[in-house]
Chains A and B, each alone.
Chain A
């Protein structure tokens, strides 16, 4: 099996086999990111397709410094953000009302959370409105601060916080519904 560096060099020389190997090696983890950012599976596939086209066209800009997988992840996340950024702007307007209790509301207990399958969790995230999903992903999975999210999405920090709060609230409802459903099934 080729090392990452060797694989990149082979891809740069136009080797189709190496390109396919790179795709095989990283498509799983990158598709996971796409699924989280996309509304559905079809959109995630489109996103992954765009991502790999961009990866192969910009591979020469990877300077062989740091983790290649990290570079790929950043590229896909940026692509996902740009994919919806302009479209999202209209949804971020005037959503700052009701901010004061944003963080406090999160403290409510969800101690009863039991194991929920990944597929269900993914469905829940995908069912969020675009703005909520984008901010939640960036905050939770990319570990970005509200300041960074605000800069990337060209929104205010407060909007970012509000979006996160609403995303959590909606997710909590869905989790609780899922748990209730399980209880019904179990009890019945």
Chain B
């Protein structure tokens, strides 16, 4: 039990218990200079960040799906509204018709459209159509000899060119307006504009940069019969790892990938080397011989001649020095090398001869291969090093991550594909031992794929 009655204790407790002394005025400046720039504390968002990320991913996926759906639907529509140039073989004249054109002679048009849709070979299809158109033309001659379309011309939608001489339409010519809504309408307008251009001009003006012989090559994604398609690749990526509490560091990865696909499904694995940066933390305790004050040293004393019995002390001021302890927090630059093995599965949401877009997800296993943790080098004049406490958290040797990526590929040749892949990774376990925060990372991967 404590000795509450102790007078010494009471004396000091009463005297110093509520000691309140203003620190020197410049201390705040020293503190302020030592304070790290504190980022504004994260306000609790109305919607948690992970939900937002999931929502954004879902929006991207949904957007890609809608794009794919619209494109496929537009292609369907285009097959119904496509303008077919018909070369009249016998007479040498050329006419243009359209499946949707509410032309002057609906019966003939329906037949032409049906024959076109039903045909698979484009050349044969054109020949068939040409023959039927020629027949229709003959009938037209019979039925309406005064018609301007006497040579088998069936007027296209508004703005269509006269394909006989590749001229633009006569502004004074009768125009037929077709009202369509939404994307189908846009598509139709584009088609109408397109058919005003001669075929050769369209290719030269619009497809020269993309041509590169690719349009005549087979689809590079189409696998050879009986063989498992194999795609090898090299890639590099740069990520930002967010460890929590505002701490984030960069990492770099380089690796090889091996992938295959079946239909729209893709499977990818490989091996990669990752270098992650981080900080080492040390508390350096040292002491320096500092002035800690002074005292008045009595050098002599004598009785006061004026006041009997009083003693006069003669003093000099003496400085006092002592070893004063200091503690400084120091950071070093550490580097950790990991081996990573991804196992990704993906779904190709869009593909044509030039581009592919895929959604990928899967686990990534990582093993710590090497750590580069340089020690603290302490050097200060007149200071004596007492101790260095290593406060660097120990890294876990293995980890699992879940990665999600949106892969975009551009086919340079039939075998080579340029790949660009924004990637999000969520660590399943903390990277530091005895820590609770599991980091996440956002990065961009770029690589070159080769189809064997």
Closest A residue to B20 by beta carbon equals A28
B23 engages A19 (CB within 8 Å): no
**Interchain CB contact (< 8 A) of A116 among B11, B17, B285:** B11
**Residues of B contacting A57 with CB < 8 Å?**
36
User: Does B324 lie within 8 Å of A43, measured CB to CB?
Assistant: yes
> Is B309 a contact partner of A188 (Cβ separation < 8 A)?
yes
Tell me the residues in window 34-75 of chain A with beta carbons closer than 8 Å to chain B beta carbons: 35-36, 39-43, 45-46, 48-50, 52-53, 56-57, 60
- Residues of B with C-beta under 8 A to A35: 19, 21
Q: Which of B1-42 touch A at CB < 8 Å?
A: 2-3, 6-9, 11-13, 15-24, 27-28, 30-32, 34-41
- Interface assignment of A154: CB less than 8 Å from any CB of chain B: no
Chain B residues with CB below 8 A from A33, complex form = 19
Cβ-defined contact, A28 with B22, below 8 A: yes
A134 to B7, CA, bound (A): 19
Q: Are A42 and B327 in contact (CB under 8 A)?
A: no
Q: How many residues of B contact A (CB 8 A)?
A: 50
Per the bound structure, the CA–CA distance linking A118 and B20 in Å amounts to 11
**Which residue of chain A has its CB nearest to the CB of B5?**
A107
Q: How far is the CA of A57 from the CA of B18 in the complex (A)?
A: 26
A180 proximal to B (CB < 8 A):
no
Check B40–A40 contact: CB distance below 8 A. Answer: no
Contact (Cβ within 8 A) B9 A168: yes
Docked complex: A97-145 residues within 8 A CB-CB of B: 103, 106, 109-111, 113, 116, 118, 121-122, 125, 136, 139-141, 143, 145
Nearest neighbor of B322 in chain A, beta-carbon distance: A39
The answer to whether A27 touches B326 (Cβ under 8 A) is no
Which one of B6, B13, B285 has the greatest number of beta carbons of chain A within 10 Å? B6
The CA of A86 and the CA of B283, in the complex, are separated in Å by: 13
Query: Are A41's CB and B8's CB within 8 A?
Result: no
Residue in B12, B21, B290 whose beta carbon sits within 8 Å of that of A125 in the complex: B12
Q: In the complex, are the beta carbons of A42 and B290 less than 8 A apart?
A: yes
Contact present for B20 and A140 (CB under 8 Å): no
A45 and B3 CA atoms in complex are apart in Å by 32
B15 to chain A, nearest CB (A): 4
A136 to B324, CA, bound (A): 20
| B7-A60 in contact (CB<8A) | no
A121 and B325 contact, CB distance less than 8 A: no
A184 at the interface (CB under 8 A from B): yes
Pair B12/A31 contact, Cβ less than 8 Å: no
* Contact between B35 and A53, CB atoms less than 8 A apart: yes
Residues of B within 8 A of A116 (CB): 11, 15
Instruction: Return A21 CB to nearest CB of chain B, in Å.
Output: 11
B310 within 8 A of A: yes
Judging by beta carbons under 8 Å apart, are A83 and B386 in contact? no
Find out whether the CB atom of A31 lies under 8 angstroms from the CB atom of B21.
yes
Instruction: Decide: A106 and B2 in contact? CB cutoff 8 A.
Output: no
Instruction: Decide if B396 is an interface residue (CB 8 Å cutoff).
Output: no
User: Is B46 interfacial (CB 8 A cutoff)?
Assistant: no
B382 CB to nearest A CB, Å: 15
Considering the chains assembled together, what is the distance between the CA atoms of A53 and B38 in angstroms?
Answer: 11
A158 to B24, CA, bound (A): 39
CA distance A136 to B3 in the complex (A): 13
The answer to the question of B292 belonging to the interface, with a C-beta cut-off of 8 Å to chain A, is yes
In Å, the complex CA distance between A27 and B26 comes to 13
A87 sits at the interface (CB 8 A): yes
Docked-complex contact A53 and B28, CB < 8 angstroms: no
Q: Quick one: closest A residue to B324, CB to CB?
A: A43
For A110, the closest partner residue in chain B by CB is: B7
Of the residues B3, B36, B292, contact of A106 by C-beta under 8 Å: B3
Distance A75 CA – B310 CA, assembled complex (angstroms): 50
A111 touches B35 (CB 8 A): no
A57 to B329 Cα, complex, angstroms: 13
Q: Are A52 and B324 in contact (CB under 8 A)?
A: no
**What are some 15 contacts across the A-B interface (CB < 8 A)?**
A14-B37, A32-B16, A39-B292, A42-B292, A43-B292, A43-B325, A45-B23, A48-B27, A106-B3, A109-B7, A110-B11, A121-B12, A122-B19, A125-B16, A140-B9
By Cβ-Cβ distance, the 6 closest A-B pairs, closest first, are A32-B19, A188-B310, A12-B41, A110-B7, A40-B292, A28-B20
